[in-house]
Amino acid sequence: MLKGIGTRQLPLLHEAELIVWCARTDITDELKIRIRKRVQESIDWSMVLAMAEYHGVVPLLYKSLSTVAPDLVPALAVATLRQKAQVGSLLNQSLAKELVALCEAFEVRGVPVIPIKGATLAVLAYGDLALRDFTDLDLLIPKQSISEVRTIILSQGYERKTSNGESRETHSHEGPYHVFIKKRPISRVDLQWVMAHQHFTFWLDRPEFWRSRMSVMLGDKAVPGLSPEMLLIVLCVHGSKHAWELLKWVCDVAELLRSQPNLDWDQIVSCASNWRCRSMLYMGLSLAHRLLDAPLPERVLTSLKDETDVQALSHRMPASLLENYQEGVSEEQAGALYFSLKDSWRERWWLGLLLCRAHSQLALTPPAWFRWRTSLSRLARLIVPAHRALTHLLSPTIRHAIHRWVTHGI
């Protein structure tokens, strides 16, 4: 358990609480009463609208308020939400059509692809393309097929987006993401085989993902999709990667759990354990259950009770919904969150060494909520001066060899 923290509930802003109550497809009678009571109180509607847009839940908020309290919400707020929801719905429809065309192009060339999140998630989890906010198309591809995939994408009228924001057909940088854009219709495609962030890597090009592909219907067209079990893991890892900054990522997990009551939990827990992301899985489940009342089987709830660190941290995200933002876990503190969510002592402290070696501010002055704050800062005070001294003493060749060993040590 986090020292001095426990699992106490950190209060949400009143406006944020209203958004959380509305950010779901299934609203109970009890919630309807609470929503109607809240909208009659003193509410900063400009804050509600801004927060809903930032967190990507405008479609859900509009659907809930227009159904539960259309007579109580200010007309201007309803009209603004309606307009934004309609614009989002049109964009989603356009992107869905583009996704179908891309998948057909991949199929013709015999290249496997799996759309993740976006349109397929909206249909599979929310049951409605219009209810999930998304602005691009994320495509999982085999890493070894990147050259052929690039050819297919370019043939569909896309251009490669460069690091400076411009676009062109070729680019020398071969990072884990390849981003392509098309102006008409406006569309952005992210090709992915790994989910990466500073001090964070999760492989996506896995045999289990390709074996468990399923068909998802977009209108009258079928496109590939991840199985619900694999999608759940990806959603929980992705949210943890970004310190659950946006509420829509919690909604994704909650709606998937609501729409898929017969998940294979043995497979989910086994895969998450093997892929060393079990704590990230539990973090997503804890947030979805606590904030959005997502249903979980008793055995999973029992396991969550034993994850005291996960439960304590889940009360601190999304940080921007809290009354006191400073008590939350921000995306800037994601390195400390990754450290906290490592599945083993060895992985945790290897990351600690990497943070110290990088002279990370997270290691030198860890956030107040961080359980290992004292231990990591002491380690940093030992390693940082030693690393600086070695940097001056060792040759570039030796430094490069040490860097490669440290970076790929696990």
pLDDT per residue over 354-388, tens digit each? 888 888 888 889 999 999 999 999 888 888 666 55
Contacts of 119 (CB under 8 A, 6+ apart): 92, 95, 96, 99, 129, 134, 137, 218, 223
pLDDT at 4: 33
Location of each CATH 3.30.460.40 domain in the chain: 96-226
Correct CATH for 96-226 of 3.20.20.100, 3.20.20.300, 3.30.460.40, 3.30.300.30: 3.30.460.40
pLDDT per residue over 311-323, tens digit each? 999 999 999 999 9
Which amino acid would we find at residue 65? L
pTM here is 0.90
Low-confidence ranges of the chain (pLDDT < 50): 1-7, 165-175, 409-410
Distance CA 364, CA 380 (A): 6
User: Do residues 200 and 243 touch, judged by C-beta distance below 8 A?
Assistant: no
Which amino acid would we find at residue 95? L
Distance CA 133, CA 216 (A): 18
Contacts of 138 (CB under 8 A, 6+ apart): 115, 116, 117, 118, 190, 192
pLDDT at 166: 47
User: Do residues 143 and 205 touch, judged by C-beta distance below 8 A?
Assistant: yes
User: Do residues 19 and 61 touch, judged by C-beta distance below 8 A?
Assistant: yes
pLDDT at 193: 96
pLDDT at 400: 58
